[in-house]
Chain A
Amino acid sequence: MEIKTLKIGKKNNKLTESIIHDLRASEDIGVNKCIQCGMCTSVCPASRHSDYDSREIAKRVLEEDESVICDDIIWNCFSCYSCHSICPVGNSVAEIVQILRQKAIAQGKLEQVVTFLAFGESLMELGIGSIPLEYFNILIEIIGDEYLDIKINLDDIREELGLGKLTLPDDDTRDIKIILEKTGFTNRLEKLRAYKESNKNSKHKG
């Protein structure tokens, strides 16, 4: 007879264990305690407006369905933590999804993050992140030129408000660069840059 419960008879727990012990996971994350009640889905904005289903993600993880890692649907989560805050057993689909996305990235699925590369570059150079140019241009397009004016006049406005400089002193951005080189972040950005370049080239050829 087919075993219908999620956990009885489960032999492989590689995926659930790797999620539970991931640094991104809350220490007491209740991945294995999920009872499929669906509270997460009931409060989830992505589940309301797209094919994403929080409960289904939790289920696939419990079933050790590794195909969830490369399923594009995981990129619809808003990281709003509604599921996380309402779960009666302390599970967190929000955190699970963040960890699944990191696994996807580790497997070379970079197209979802490459467009945010400039945020990391700006943080390395100035100590403060910024909106990547291609998205910034879309913002101006839909919000209007007034938005561009705010950005052009930002230094003057900040001065009028009696606020300090937007960016960090050079010594500090240098320190940040050194730290991020040693944490492996620089390496991560380089991989993304290489991916971006190779994509550009293949597009040109195409």
Chain B
Amino acid sequence: MKKIPDKDILIFKSCLVSGEYPGVESSTKYLFDKLGVEYVLDERQSCCTGLGYYFDLFDQFSTTALAARNFAIAREIEHKNIATLCATCYAILKKACNILNENDTVRNRINQIFKDSKMDHMEYSPGDFDSHSNIFHAAEILWNKTAEIKEIPKIDLSNFKIASHHACHYCKVHYKEETIGNMRNPMIIEELAKTCGVETVDWYDHKRTTCGAGFRQRFANLDLSLSVTADKLLSLQENDVDILLHMCPNCQMQFDRYQPVIEKKLNTKFDLVHLNIAQFLALAMGADPYKVVGVQTHTVPLDNILERINQASPVVI
């Protein structure tokens, strides 16, 4: 089992969290504060390029060069434990880190670019970062604190049935040694949700299926994209799931933004809402839905869960 840190953490900002569900970032900060996880954010950190990489617009070399720049920032502020909010940032950074450590030609070319641009301080030396022990998903940092989370008073949400969507770029890209638990049936989200005393659907047909965003497919091939999302929604409907918990803003966007579109297409109604695992835990701990959790940027209304929260106050479960 990999060693998960709780200090010297750089929360790695994500373009889709920032622009679609900023409440994921504020909820993560809220939880880290409550759990005594020491972290910083840095305004200089750039986008990982991930969406562009999978739109086939970014080449691996340019993506790796920008990763080296972001690694240099984390090194300079002595917060070398990177916690991503997005599964694609997680996969992109791990790959870039491995290339920088192992491929001398690429590393030398990137370092030469830094030298020629008077950015010598950005130069990367082999072993500066280790993809295994320095790059994490924020959900893993939380999972490592499951025992502490259990102790924090929470609102009783046991009348909601929960399922997870673990995000392909978290569990399938660097699947060999990096995914916590069984990559064929990841349980990080369920184990975190269970701290709130809720019932979780630990396996459902299509649990491992992609959200359907497919990067370019959502935009250039919408029907194909939505047919995959529909597979998963129908399976969740069969299991009477109330809340689908996420760990990737791209997947969350696919389900939350397009669920009403698919409902119209299939002439059905999904009684299903979408939250990131950090948003869910923050809500359960009594965080303000609008000032911390950011429910105002969601498309599928969260009325049911907000009603429940308004009626109750946090207690030790």
Contact = CB atoms under 8 A, between A and B. Distances in A.
Given A117-B57, A129-B52, A139-B257, A43 B216 contact: no
Contacts of B54: 79, 98
A183 interface: yes
A136 to B, nearest CB: 9
A112 B56 contact: yes
A115 B23 contact: no
Contacts of B220: 75, 112, 115
Interface stretch (B75-83, B126-134, B286-294, B309-317): B286-294
Interface residues of A, number: 72
Contacts of A117: 57
Contacts of B213: 78
A82 B168 contact: yes
A162 B15 CA distance: 17
Contacts, number: 208
Contacts of A43: 208
A23 B56 contact: no
B65 interface: yes
Contacts of B55: 113, 116, 119
A105 B173 contact: no
B153 interface: no
Main secondary structure of the interface of B (DSSP, over half): helix
Interface centre among A79, A105, A144, A175 (most CB of B within 10 A): A79
Contacts of A116: 52, 55-57, 216, 219
Contact of A85 (B103, B110, B183, B224): B183
B201 interface: no
Interface stretch (A1-9, A33-41, A57-65, A146-154): A146-154
Given A46-B224, A81-B169, A161 B183 contact: no
Contacts of A178: 117, 119
Given A116-B57, A146-B299, A163-B25, A128 B210 contact: no
Contacts of B58: 120, 185
Nearest to B169: A81
A70 B124 CA distance: 37
Interface string A127-166: 1111110010011001110110011001001101111111
A135 B19 CA distance: 15
A22 B99 CA distance: 12
Interface in B159-190: 168-169, 171-173, 175, 183
Given A80-B214, A119-B52, 20 more contacts: A23-B103, A49-B224, A82-B172, A85-B171, A112-B216, A112-B220, A115-B219, A128-B18, A128-B19, A129-B15, A138-B222, A143-B258, A154-B19, A157-B294, A157-B297, A163-B26, A172-B44, A175-B69, A182-B117, A183-B62
